[in-house]
Structure 1
Amino acid sequence: MKEFQCPSCRQPVSFEHVACANCGILLVFDAPRIDMRRLASNQACRNREIIGCNWCVEGADWYCGSCRLTRTIPHLGSARNIMLWRRVEEAKRRLLYDLSRLGLPLKSRSGEQVGFDILSDQISPILTGHLSGVITLNLAEADDVEREARRVAFREPYRTLLGHFRHEIGHFYWDLLVNSTSFQAPFKLIFGDDSQDYQGAINSYYNRSDRSYDRSGFISEYATSHPWEDWAETFAHFLHIVSTLDSLAGLPLSLDERARQTLTDPYLESDFEALLALWMPLSRGINELNRSLGMSDAYPFDISPAVKGKLHLVHMAISAFREQQRLAA
């Protein structure tokens, strides 16, 4: 994510800050303008006090654009649930930032609005997933201990809240960017035949005794379960890449002219090869930094030629959609 500055003292502030650590003024994030502003009267989201939402409201709304998308919140009878819900909403706001920078809408062709149900499984099991634009997320995924236990149980190298959101929204954008478009045939060629029974494929995946898979063809094991899941995993990784490169732009590094041009706005970069040329050494570098601190790799994945082709298709589909919107405006 790009670096923001306090509108008063110009010191760096993070995307989540509600106040400047240097001068103390209260801050709000202006989502339409993608900038930090000084908090004015009647701008605070109603969730600012309870979960630290720092997005400003629009007009006479009580809730910001992000909080209005949450259809269902967990039961707030415990401090733990409030703490976990706060983490979930922080990750969701980063997702919405990604989508805004990419120029992707939050409505389907038929007008279905993206929505979020944040549910606790204290009473009955909750499965994180997507259906017709609604993303359901199990609140337990915001608990570091529980999420790590699930990561190990499912033999996943990576499992985060933001990763969940980026994966699940990928299903929504498959329908918008690929289904019934000129990209449907290339999708079948590269990702596989999506007409195969989805639920049967998922059940078969979880019943496998052999957990090995073709690492040269898929970005993750779960991507092998069905072409739709392969797309969602790949879409999430595309967001990982452009978001991290956006953060790179604010670091005091010596870069050549082409790299600086790419980092002007990685989300809108038209040259896919330029994105990958920056990402490959960066991902190796952040992994080495993590190892130096005794931590696991931040990006424990290899981008093979086949995976690169899948990422390229995601990039092309997003770029084509954005161009169609520009021409229709």
Structure 2
Amino acid sequence: MRLFQCQCCGQVLHFENTKCLRCGRHVGYLPERGQMLAVEPEGSVWRIAADAASGEAKPNDDREGHAESGDNADAQADIDGPGLRFCANWERSACNWMVPAGEGEAFCLACCHNRTVPNLSDGVNHARWQKIEVAKRRLVYTLLRFGLPLPQPGGEHPEPLVFDFLADAPGATGRVLTGHSDGVITISLTEADDATREKMRTDMGEAYRTLLGHFRHEVGHYYWDILVRDGGHLEAFRALFGDDTEDYSAALGRHYANGARADWQEAHVSAYATMHAWEDWAETWAHYLHMVDTLETAAAFGLRVEPELDEDGELSAELDFDPHKVRRIRRLLAAWMPLTVALNALNRSMGQSDIYPFILAPAVLEKLGFVHDLIAQSRGAQA
């Protein structure tokens, strides 16, 4: 994730900010420009703040990858007529994205994919939904940066991307299950409860479980449909991930009855990835998105990783590139490996367990390369 900057005072802004903590300006993210804007109300619309449009604010750091102020004059010219509006979910304190006022859209490019939200008169539901929306926007940010197709509900695409955020019904014996089916991604609200999610992670013997991870995993199933099944890559997929026609229910039952093989790390990124070829793909896809987003954040902070290994050399990485546009995955991996060593060491220094509890065997690297290449091909086809 990039860092952003208030165009009025130069304060660094994070992706979730709704106000600048230094000057108090309202800020909103305009996904069409990939820019965080300082705005002020004008009647029923919002406009770029006058002192931001003047270009008077000075960036904190001129180097690409750090917080940026953007081209305020161009942004102002783009929206001088109709102005901007916040997404309808902004009023529910659940979104900070904006839409051009002249387009008549109530929801932003992220929230327009919502089909079902929980009963928001329930305070617990509302708070959990707000956390879910934060993770969803981070997911959609990455998908937009990749240039992946994001067909909206109500369009002509046979399988638009749709989100259902559901709470367990009071007194019901069954629970809402997080999953994907034919373009519909369901996220259970219980996943937004940190204590419950951590208990589930421990009970299921998982090394990693987060809201954002769920989104990345489930959208991986969606893009399997779009890029692999409908994209003509089934044969190449099966050569790496296995037989996608295997009975899924049988595979699921076998996995939960017997667990993963002892040597699963030789070919899979997680134990769950061993369950079925579809899950192997989704876990690998999610891991690739973890890598890219973390590397972008590291680059935004200007990190350089240079741990000494031995007398013969050192493990180093210059994190000064856009990981969404790297041609060869080799470059991503060369930066990723030393960064994860540093992240784990930092966590241990704080008395925490490793933030990156994964081993990437050669077979896993090949699968990550397959994901990387498919995304690059899709971006080229969309251009």
When normalised by structure 2's length, the TM-score is 0.80
Q: Which has the higher strand share?
A: 2
Aligned equivalents of 1:8, 1:309: Cα separation in 2: 46
Deviates more, 1:47-56 or 1:222-231: 47-56
Aligned equivalents of 2:106, 2:378: Cα separation in 1: 32
Structure 2 residue aligned with 1:174: 224
1:314 aligns with 2:371: yes
- Give the deviation of 1:40 after TM superposition: 4.3
1:131 aligns with 2:181: yes
Deviates more, 1:268-277 or 1:51-60: 51-60
* The structure with more radius of gyration: 2
Q: Is the 8 A contact 2:216 2:285 kept in 1?
A: yes
Q: Is the 8 A contact 2:340 2:356 kept in 1?
A: yes
> Runs of at least 4 residues of structure 1 off by over 3 A?
108-111, 209-213, 252-256
Which of 202, 209, 212 is the equivalent residue of 1:159?
Answer: 209
Equivalent residues in 2 for 1:252-263, closer than 5 Å: 252-254=302-304, 263=320
Structure 1 residue aligned with 2:10: 10
Aligned equivalents of 1:141, 1:105: Cα separation in 2: 27
Please give the root-mean-square deviation of Cα atoms over the aligned residues, in Å: 2.0
Aligned equivalents of 1:40, 1:114: Cα separation in 2: 32
Q: Is the 8 A contact 2:94 2:130 kept in 1?
A: yes
Structure 2 residue aligned with 1:61: 105
1:277 aligns with 2:334: yes
Aligned equivalents of 2:158, 2:39: Cα separation in 1: 33
Count matched residues.
Answer: 324
Equivalent residues in 2 for 1:132-147, closer than 5 Å: 132-147=182-197
Unaligned runs of 5+ in 1: none
- Give the deviation of 1:68 after TM superposition: 1.9
Q: 1:210 to 1:298 in 2, by over 3 A?
A: closer
- Give the deviation of 1:84 after TM superposition: 0.5
- Give the deviation of 1:53 after TM superposition: 1.2
Aligned equivalents of 1:81, 1:213: Cα separation in 2: 41
Q: Is the 8 A contact 1:245 1:263 kept in 2?
A: no
Q: Is the 8 A contact 1:259 1:274 kept in 2?
A: no
Q: Is the 8 A contact 2:168 2:176 kept in 1?
A: yes
Structure 1 residue aligned with 2:74: none
Which of 292, 302, 305 is the equivalent residue of 2:362?
Answer: 305
2:135 match: secondary structure: helix
Per-residue CA deviations over 1:97-152 (Å, capped at 9, x if unaligned) read 01001110112994421110000014341010001111000000000000001001
- Give the deviation of 1:175 after TM superposition: 1.4
Q: Identity of paired residues, percent? A: 44
When normalised by structure 1's length, the TM-score is 0.93
Q: 1:210 to 1:131 in 2, by over 3 A?
A: closer
Structure 2 residue aligned with 1:248: 298
Aligned equivalents of 2:346, 2:123: Cα separation in 1: 35
Structure 2 residue aligned with 1:117: 164
Amino acid paired to 2:257 = N
- Give the deviation of 1:213 after TM superposition: 4.7
Q: Is the 8 A contact 1:213 1:224 kept in 2?
A: no
Equivalent residues in 2 for 1:24-35, closer than 5 Å: 24-35=24-35
Q: 1:48 to 1:180 in 2, by over 3 A?
A: closer
Unaligned runs of 5+ in 2: 46-84, 307-315
Amino acid paired to 2:92 = I
